[in-house]
């Protein structure tokens, strides 16, 4: 219900002000005043709203998976360097293609390749984090390692940008601002299937996620095949975070904040409830952030990444202050 | 004695060696462990710190691999069980902290039914009955909607035992269930374990430092002394003077009359 409301609000507001009645008429196939409005709504705002829903729910879900897998309340695609990994993959494709011109540049800069590269980058970081996590039991150390990965990828990206041309650099910088607005319907279909795969894998992991709340040894004693379920969860996280980062750029805090918010609201740790709830709240939060980013009635659009940080960071701080400690 | 002998052997070890295995070396903690546990009895594993009580318990629960010898559960070798089969035969209560203390008591106990539920974890009527029974037996009904971080150590221990009980296994292994508890709660937990073992015909094994309490309450005991590792009924072990060698000489001595330890002055 809230989701539908936010969806309506999101497509009603934008740089060009279109009356509510006309928005609804356009969706429902009725008559509207201007033909261009119909075009704006169908080819720009609705895909954008769908993208926001997919991005928000996907990121929130990957955050939930990681928090449970690492048994760490601070885990999230952004904090553990997963998004940095995806950024590195994207940077290599966008900017690297001009460096290693010839073989690589040929037909490489399309979206599918970008998505694969970003997913691959995030997988790589996730796997390294997993290996480190099995050796280092200290969660604090793990987070610092995640930050270090962020630094390393940032360093590689700056080396790349030093050598690349201005046009490619600008393309990358825009990508790193994050945006849910640039997707065409076919791209949207691709993103949808990526997210759906991620959701299916997560739903299959619900039981082992619940068992993991006890700890790994207990989970094993409950008959959970740890190796298999760990890989399932990692693949789901990698696909979700990587795919989304490829299409919408690195978007901060949704993955971290939404699972905490959802646990507070539903007062449960049961993943049969948390998984769908997190998907919904992620979508709602993302739609709201995007609506704010559009700065309704003005011609400017703010980078969505900035808005999610401005909204997400205070939520995390508020949760910490209210509860005094982060319980997950 | 004869009555116990007639019952089935639930858990048996033959010349078991336990310890840790890394790529470079094998560290044997204890060896020559021979156990024969029947159903419906309470067994304590005692010994000094570092002798391998917890290692033994974790090996029996397949948390870590055995080094040598045999472990048989219901006549089948432990390594022949897959994890799901084992989950319906052995349940664990470990010393490691819970990953998430944000769970409610009910949610935690419900997790005990995981080996029996379908792919999404839906509870059947039978599952709900088992959960209710476990909560009632451990006197947790009034606490069932509390979060785990709100509980005292003693309450949390009861919750963990309830979870193991809900798992409805023939064998329950507990690693130091009485640590951090005061005298009253220690006795309470051990008495509960004894009544569970006798009334539900389960085999319950736990490690403990409460030797005197174990002597009074347990049906059988395993004394890890690093040499012969005597196993038997407490009175029998006292007759064999097995407790005398449990601790290094000159520190404490065992009084076989009262079944208690005295500090040597």
Instruction: Name residue, tokens 């094994």.
Output: B205
Q: Do B102 and A206 make contact, defined as CB atoms within 8 angstroms?
A: no
C-alpha to C-alpha distance for B139 and B129, rounded to whole angstroms: 15
Q: Domain B1-89+202-265 classified CATH 3.90.76.10?
A: no
Three-state DSSP string of B100-154? CCCCEHHHHHHHCCHHHCCCCCCCCHHHHHHHHHHHHHCCCHHHCCCEHHHCCHH
Q: Do A210 and B111 make contact, defined as CB atoms within 8 angstroms?
A: yes
pLDDT greater than 90 at residue A318:
no
Q: Got the DSSP string for A190-252?
A: HHHHHHHHHHHHHHHTHHHHHHHTT-HHHHHHTT--HHHHHHHHHHHHHHHHHHHHHHH----
Q: Bigger pLDDT: A197 or B264?
A: A197
Instruction: Determine, yes or no, domain membership for A270.
Output: yes
Q: What tokens were used for A271?
A: 């993943």
| CATH number of the domain where residue A227 is located | 1.10.3470.10
pLDDT band per the 50, 70, 90 thresholds, residue A106 = very low
Cβ contact B87:B114 at 8 Å? yes
C-alpha to C-alpha distance for A49 and A10, rounded to whole angstroms: 7
In a 3-state reduction of DSSP, which class is residue B48?
coil
pLDDT greater than 50 at residue A47:
yes
For range A171-181, the mean pLDDT? 80
For range A251-263, the mean pLDDT? 88
Domain that holds residue A27: 2-323
Of A51-60, A91-100, A114-123, B253-262, the range with the lowest mean pLDDT is A91-100
C-alpha to C-alpha distance for B160 and B105, rounded to whole angstroms: 9
Q: Do B84 and A223 make contact, defined as CB atoms within 8 angstroms?
A: yes
For range B114-118, the mean pLDDT? 91
For range A32-38, the mean pLDDT? 72
Q: What tokens were used for B232?
A: 């038997």
Give me the interface pTM, i.e. the ipTM. 0.89
User: For the segment A130-158, what is each residue's pLDDT rounded down to a tens digit?
Assistant: 787 777 666 667 777 777 888 888 888 88
Query: Which residues on chain B are in Cβ contact (under 8 Å) with A137?
Result: none
The pLDDT score that the predictor gives to residue A113 is 74
**Residue-averaged pLDDT of chain B:** 89
Q: Do B96 and A225 make contact, defined as CB atoms within 8 angstroms?
A: no
pLDDT greater than 50 at residue B3:
no
Query: Which residues on chain A are in Cβ contact (under 8 Å) with B62?
Result: 220-221
Which residues 39-98 on chain B approach chain A with CB closer than 8 angstroms?
A: 61-63, 83-88, 90-92, 94, 96-98
Instruction: Determine, yes or no, domain membership for A99.
Output: yes
Distance from CA of A116 to the nearest CA of B (A): 30
Q: Do A222 and B97 make contact, defined as CB atoms within 8 angstroms?
A: no
- ∠ Cα A88 A93 A99 (to 5°): 105
The pLDDT score that the predictor gives to residue B1 is 43
| DSSP-derived pairing of the beta strands B9-21 and B171-174 | unpaired
Instruction: Determine, yes or no, domain membership for A328.
Output: no
Residue (of B90, B127, B120) closest to B202 by Cα position? B90
Minimum CA–CA partner of A216 in chain B: B99
User: For the segment B37-60, what is each residue's pLDDT rounded down to a tens digit?
Assistant: 999 999 999 998 989 999 999 999
Cβ contact A111:A98 at 8 Å? no
**Residue-averaged pLDDT of chain A:** 80
User: For the segment B59-105, what is each residue's pLDDT rounded down to a tens digit?
Assistant: 999 998 999 999 999 989 999 999 899 999 999 999 988 888 889 99
Distance from CA of B248 to the nearest CA of A (A): 33
Which residue in the set B104, B115, B121 is minimally distant from A210, CB to CB?
B121
Residue (of A260, A202, A244) closest to A69 by Cα position? A202
For range A211-232, the mean pLDDT? 89
Instruction: Determine, yes or no, domain membership for A228.
Output: yes
Minimum CA–CA partner of B109 in chain A: A214
In chain A, where does DSSP find H-type helix? Answer: 2-12, 20-28, 35-40, 46-69, 82-94, 96-99, 111-135, 139-163, 166-177, 185-204, 206-212, 216-221, 226-248, 254-266, 271-293, 304-323
pLDDT greater than 50 at residue A108:
no
A-interface mutation test, from B83, B95, B146, most A Cβ less than 10 A away: B83
pLDDT band per the 50, 70, 90 thresholds, residue A65 = very high
The pLDDT score that the predictor gives to residue A104 is 45
Q: Do B114 and A215 make contact, defined as CB atoms within 8 angstroms?
A: no
pLDDT band per the 50, 70, 90 thresholds, residue A199 = very high
Distance from CA of B108 to the nearest CA of A (A): 8
Minimum CA–CA partner of A202 in chain B: B120
* Number of Cβ within a 10 Å radius of residue B119: 9
Q: Tell me how many domains chain A contains.
A: 1
CB of B115 within 8 Å of a chain A CB? The answer is yes
């Amino acid at each position: 219900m809230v989701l539908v409301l936010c969806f309506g609000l999101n497509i009603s507001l934008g740089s060009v002000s279109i009356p509510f009645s006309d928005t609804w008429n356009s969706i429902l196939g009725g008559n509207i005043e201007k033909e261009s409005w119909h075009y704006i709504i169908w080819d720009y705002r609705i895909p954008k709203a769908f993208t926001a829903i997919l991005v928000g729910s996907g990121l929130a879900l990957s955050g939930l998976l990681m928090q449970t897998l690492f048994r760490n309340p601070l885990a999230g695609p952004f904090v553990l360097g997963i998004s940095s990994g995806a950024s590195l993959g994207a940077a290599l494709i966008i900017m690297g293609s001009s460096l290693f011109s010839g073989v690589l540049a040929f037909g490489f800069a399309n979206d599918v390749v970008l998505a694969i590269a970003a997913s691959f980058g995030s997988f790589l970081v996730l796997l390294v984090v997993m290996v480190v996590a099995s050796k280092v039991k200290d969660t604090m150390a793990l987070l610092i390692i995640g930050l270090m990965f962020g630094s390393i990828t940032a360093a590689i990206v700056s080396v790349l940008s030093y050598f690349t041309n201005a046009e490619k650099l600008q393309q990358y910088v825009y990508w790193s601002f994050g945006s849910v607005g640039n997707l065409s319907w076919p791209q949207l279909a691709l993103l949808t299937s990526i997210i759906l795969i991620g959701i299916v894998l997560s739903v299959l992991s619900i039981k082992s996620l619940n068992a993991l709340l006890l700890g790994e040894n207990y989970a094993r004693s409950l008959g959970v095949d740890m190796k298999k379920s760990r890989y399932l969860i990692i693949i789901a996280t990698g696909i979700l975070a990587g795919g989304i980062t490829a299409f919408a750029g690195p978007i901060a805090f949704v993955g971290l904040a939404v699972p905490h918010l959802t646990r507070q609201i539903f007062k449960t740790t049961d993943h049969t409830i948390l998984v769908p709830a997190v998907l919904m709240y992620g979508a709602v939060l993302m739609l709201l952030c995007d609506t704010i980013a559009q700065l309704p009635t003005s011609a400017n659009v703010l980078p969505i990444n900035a808005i999610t940080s401005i909204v997400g960071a205070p939520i995390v701080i508020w949760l910490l202050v209210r509860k005094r400690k982060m319980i997950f | 004695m004869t009555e116990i002998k007639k019952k089935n052997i639930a858990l048996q070890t033959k010349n078991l060696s336990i310890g840790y295995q890394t790529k470079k070396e094998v560290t044997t903690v204890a060896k020559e462990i021979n156990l024969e546990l029947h159903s419906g009895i309470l067994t304590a594993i005692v010994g000094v710190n570092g002798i391998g009580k917890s290692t033994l318990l974790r090996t029996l629960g397949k948390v870590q691999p055995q080094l040598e010898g045999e472990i048989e559960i219901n006549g089948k070798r432990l390594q022949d069980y897959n994890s799901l089969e084992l989950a319906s035969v052995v349940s664990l209560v470990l010393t490691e902290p819970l990953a998430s203390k944000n769970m409610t008591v009910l949610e935690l106990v419900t997790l005990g039914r995981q080996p029996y539920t379908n792919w999404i974890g839906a509870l059947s009527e039978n599952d709900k009955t088992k959960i209710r029974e476990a909560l009632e037996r451990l006197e947790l009904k009034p606490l069932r909607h509390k979060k785990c971080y709100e509980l005292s150590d003693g309450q949390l221990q009861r919750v963990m035992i309830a979870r193991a009980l809900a798992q409805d296994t023939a064998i329950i292994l507990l690693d130091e269930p009485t640590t951090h508890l005061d005298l009253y709660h220690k006795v309470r937990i051990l008495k509960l374990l004894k009544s569970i073992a006798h009334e539900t015909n389960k085999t319950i094994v736990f490690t403990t430092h409460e030797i005197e309490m174990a002597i009074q309450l347990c049906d059988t005991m395993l004394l890890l002394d690093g040499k012969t590792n005597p196993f038997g009924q407490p009175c029998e072990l006292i007759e064999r003077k097995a407790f005398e060698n449990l601790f290094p000489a000159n520190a404490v001595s065992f009084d076989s009359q009262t079944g208690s330890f005295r500090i040597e002055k």
